[in-house]
Structure 1
């Protein structure tokens, strides 16, 4: 190997960014200690990592081209400090595996190039090697009861690894996924985006699966297609009758008369005022009203007598 970073990667000083990537890919695979048992391969592999780390970064490369390795690592002279070149001292982190993983992507990128201890051809997969899809990725999608009642559109930004145009390297890019929430969707509904996971040279991207998680509501509890509403009433109201006012999720005010005697297990069912059915949003479940009866904390002797007399009839 030569003494300059260009010599290390076996390229000339006019090499393009694509040339630098191709050279590093070829040599890093060749001298990776996992595939090359030569005693010098670890040292060469480290040199390759440092050379690529410098030449793949435009600012580091510009400083190296102008001031050499001494200027890059020792700091450029003060008179050149305003030139816009790399001005701080460069120190390679010394972990060539880190450089290798950042280049190829993944926690074990070298595994992408070997199957059953047989190296793959650099042009792609060996004949007969079948790509397998990565395991699907699950994410919770938290939605309010109002979202699930009316339906809505949610846009979610994901970051994923995509292959670059050179077909060898990858980078992290953002993408917006759009979910059209349908009225009546329930807890546990799954929305699948096929092959939107990380891309790799020898694998099929994973599916991304969003799972609906319903947020709690201040007044309603959902039970399948029904809505449960708890009304707080006094003992007098429970025995003599009253009306319950309920503000619905579509901003209507229902006034519901209660003429029955209300006991602790009593419920009032109002059909057609629950959640829409996902398969037919024009149909809706029921509104079920339960009652929390507030008993008096104490009664005078006179009041107790009056109640006894009233209940005697």
Structure 2
């Protein structure tokens, strides 16, 4: 038997492991991974995960091209994420006051297991929370269209408010403009309202309504989304309707009542 390390007969061989860099240098005279001028380590070694000297890259020129284009070892593409797709979700003030559940059917393109682009439909559920404001965003990750070599986009719904016939929103407050006559402004009146959740409010006005007067009803505004149980205020702004003309007797009566 030949001593260890010596050549044997035809059935014996000696394994001398060498890396890809050494083999390339032997054939071409230099290493494609030398970066001595960059001040870093003088060589980089890639572990082959597929056939060929460079693990599927095909040659040194492809190594550099793939490295700059974000292709991983073995030729795998590092997919980029497509930009998010935004869509408006218009809600009534009633929905934003009490909350609601919305069902949205979407259609999008996806890549199936065979690598083909196919259409797909899906129903998404959106739980609208009480107090959400215009501009609130609800994101469904990866529910947008898919493209080759890209991760599917996120689908984003943006809350929008539908105009209301009676109420106008001002942050967490609700505002109404109420028309009253001059007699009501001076002698008092009662404002009857239906709230956004269906309750009936009867609001007495006992003060003299002067120009710029505003009546504030505490805790009858919008729910505050981040402060459970709290609400804004209801603000009533008055528009006093003056009579277009007065009779002589009416003028005399007013002068008698309001005179110094």
TM-score of the superposed pair, with normalisation by structure 1: 0.58
Q: Which has the larger radius of gyration?
A: 2
TM-score of the superposed pair, with normalisation by structure 2: 0.69
Report the equivalent of 2:113: 165
Following the alignment from structure 1 to structure 2, what is the Cα–Cα distance between the partners of residues 204 and 281? Answer: 37
Larger relative helix fraction: 1
The offset of 1:126, in angstroms, is 6.8
Q: How many residues align?
A: 192
DSSP-derived class of the 1:236 partner = helix
The aligned runs of 1:55-94 (5 Å cut-off) are none
Which of these residues, 229, 232, 238, is aligned with residue 179 of structure 2?
232
The aligned runs of 1:108-257 (5 Å cut-off) are 127=75, 129-166=77-114, 168-257=115-204
Higher RCO by CA contacts (8 Å cutoff, separation 6 or greater): 2
DSSP-derived class of the 2:184 partner = helix
Following the alignment from structure 1 to structure 2, what is the Cα–Cα distance between the partners of residues 242 and 300? Answer: 24
Unaligned residue ranges in structure 1 (runs of 5+): 1-116, 119-123
Unaligned residue ranges in structure 2 (runs of 5+): 1-64, 67-71
Maintained 8 Å contact 1:183/1:281: no
- RMSD of the alignment, in Å? 2.1
Q: Deviations over 1:158-179 (max 9, x none)?
A: 110011221x211111111111
Following the alignment from structure 2 to structure 1, what is the Cα–Cα distance between the partners of residues 225 and 116? Answer: 44
1:239–1:191 CA distance, 2 compared to 1 (3 A): same
